[in-house]
Structure 1
Amino acid sequence: MLVRDAMSTVVLTIGPAHTLRQAARLMSARRVGAAVVLDPDTSGLGILTERDILNALGAGRDPDHETAHGHTTTDVVFAAPDWTLEEAAAAMSRGEFRHLIVLDRHEAVGVVSVRDIIRCWLPLRGRAQAPAVTA
């Protein structure tokens, strides 16, 4: 199975001046765990994830004053739509992150997450759930 089969095509794009609260609201409304940050000054793409926002809040940062710019990962690993899910999972494992921006001809066409990959590898629809394990 390929990344294009698993990725979400809902790509939330924000600017570096969005506050963390604005980013969180947009991510929540779109039900996504990451936003692509497009900085027109650098012509580059970055990513802001739910973990980045959580870490900022945990460090006592004010979500109404902190901007995406200060919390965006800019050394992003990108996936191609024709990567296998194994290649995407390996890249995530090596980089210790949970989201990959999918680029096609230098354009963000999707985001694939660990959850997306798991859903493809272990579809629950139509299958009986595994019994609960108790200790």
Structure 2
Amino acid sequence: MRVADAMSEIVLSIGPAHTLRQASALMARRRVGSAVVVDPDAVGHGILTERDILNAIGAGLDPDVEHAAAHLTSDLVYAGPDWTLLKAAEAMLRGGFRHLIVMDDSTPVGILSVRDIVRAWAHQQAPAQV
């Protein structure tokens, strides 16, 4: 099974100046656990996850003051849509990631989460229902 078969095509993009509260509100509204951070002044993309926001708030930081740029992960591994789910899962394990941005050339086309992989594998293993 390929990444393209399991990924979510809902990609929430935010800017680096979004506050953590703004980012979390957008993530909640879209029912996603991460947002791609697009900074026109930077090379590549970053990702802000629900865990990044949780860590910031847990550290006592103000979500109305803190910006996404200060809490995102920018040292990313990008998945290709034609990667196998096993290759993506191995990359997640190596990097300690729970989300991968799926890129087609230089364009984000999806997000792959651990939940997406588990769902796809469970679906694949389920006996055919009649």
Instruction: Name the TM-score, length of structure 2 as normaliser.
Output: 0.94
Distance apart, 1:68 and its partner CA: 0.1
Moved over 6 A (4+): none
**2:35 aligned partner:** 35
Post-superposition Cα deviations, 1:61-108, rounded to whole Å, max 9, x if no partner, equal: 000000000001110110000000000000000011100000001100
Post-superposition Cα deviations, 1:92-131, rounded to whole Å, max 9, x if no partner, equal: 000111000000011000000000000001139x87xxxx
**2:118 aligned partner:** 118
Distance apart, 1:43 and its partner CA: 3.8
**1:61 aligned partner:** 61
In 1: Cα distance, 2:106 partner to 2:80 partner: 10
Post-superposition Cα deviations, 1:34-70, rounded to whole Å, max 9, x if no partner, equal: 0000011114200000000000000000000000000
Unaligned runs of 5+ residues in structure 2 are: none
SS at match of 1:112: strand
**2:83 aligned partner:** 83
In 1: Cα distance, 2:111 partner to 2:27 partner: 13
**2:108 aligned partner:** 108
In 2: Cα distance, 1:86 partner to 1:122 partner: 14
CA root-mean-square deviation: 1.3
In 2: Cα distance, 1:55 partner to 1:17 partner: 18
In 1: Cα distance, 2:54 partner to 2:64 partner: 14
In 2: Cα distance, 1:43 partner to 1:87 partner: 25
Give the % identical residues: 65
Unaligned runs of 5+ residues in structure 1 are: 128-135
**1:74 aligned partner:** 74
SS at match of 2:118: helix
